[in-house]
Amino acid sequence: MTTDEELSRIATSIRRRCVTMCRGRGQGYVGQGLALADLMASLYFDEMRRDPTGALHDRFILSTGHSAIALYATLGELGEYADEELATYGMDASRIEESPLAGLPGFHITGGSLGQGLSQAVGFALGDRLRGSDARTFCLISDGELQEGQIWEAIMSAAHYRLGSLVLLIDNNRMQADGDTAEVMGIEPIPDKLAAFGFAAQRVDANNLPALRAALEATRAQSDRPHGIVCDTLPGKGVPTIEAYEKVHYVRAGDDVWAQALAEIGSTAGVRHASAE
């Protein structure tokens, strides 16, 4: 079992990769990548199961396409993408696009059209039930996506079919392209709403590894209804220079800013992990 200390080192390495990826063009969704590093480390190096060949048995669905930087960096940790390719993030002719396409290693759906990923995750979970598979489906959406009607249709469907294998993860970073989520359209209280629809719901500081791991572990005990975890995150987490950005939804900066960000992260990154235990 991976320890908190090991996961912390992996999350730090993921953060470093996110900053390095954005440094190439001087821009990108670095705030999201930094915020999600702890969650991605916990999922891919602890929570999601693998079969004897090392392939993932469980599945991760990324609805919020522009948060793909966090998944690219995580897959880089696993050696599924070379650092040289990750450095082409968002560049012309690169397959490392800011919003991903289905079929890329690690990506089951095309992200970017927000509000659609959970519906597809429900489909995957229903398909697993029909096949007799015990695979679990983890779906990450943003807090802003809760303003989409399709999300609530999918939530209603998941509860109706009692999809205990489905875990909905909500990146509650309190920001969207047009400003503070609460000011654009209020969505709280999220756990109460999920519970009213029939979910087993909880809220956690997703930048606190012990608390996050406990929340994920708790989802294993419920098999008769879907799970929802409101993951409170801090955009730019771990890099004070990025945390301080007013418009952290998408960061454009000179090379000196990226160099400073890397210095703030430290030098504990860069180790590839062939698989998660």
Residue 52 lies in a domain: yes
Burial string for 35-48 (b: 16+ CB within 10 Å, else e) reads bbbbbbbbbbbbbb
Residue 94 lies in a domain: yes
> Residue 17: which of 65, 68, 92, 91 has the closest Cα?
68
* Number of domains comprising the chain: 1
Q: Quick one: tokens of 60? A: 């991760």
Q: What is the pLDDT of residue 277?
A: 44
pLDDT score of 26 more than 90: yes
pLDDT on residue 273: 53
Cis before 226 (ω within 30): no
Strand partners, 167: 138, 227
- In this predicted model, what pLDDT tens digit does every residue of 71-104 receive, in sequence order? 999 999 999 999 999 999 999 999 999 999 999 9
**CA dist., res. 184 & res. 176, Å (int):** 8
- DSSP-assigned letters across all residues of 108-165: SS---STT-HHHHHHHHHHHHHHHT----EEEEEETGGGGSHHHHHHHHHHHHTT-TT
Q: What is the H or E stretch that residue 83 is in?
A: helix 83-86
Residue 275 lies in a domain: no
- Give the pLDDT confidence score for residue 227 in this predicted structure: 98
Residue 270 lies in a domain: no
pLDDT at 266: 75
Q: In the block, which residue shows the tokens 């730019």?
A: 236
In which band, very low, low, confident or very high, does the pLDDT at 111 lie, cut at 50, 70 and 90?
Answer: confident
- Is residue 277 in some structural domain? no
Which residue range forms the structural domain that includes residue 71?
4-265
Burial class (CB in 10 A: 0-12, 13-18, 19+), 144: buried
Which whole number is the average pLDDT over 243-249?
A: 89
Assign 96 to helix, strand or coil. Answer: coil
CATH of the domain at 49: 3.40.50.970
What pLDDT, on the 0 to 100 scale, is given for residue 38? 98
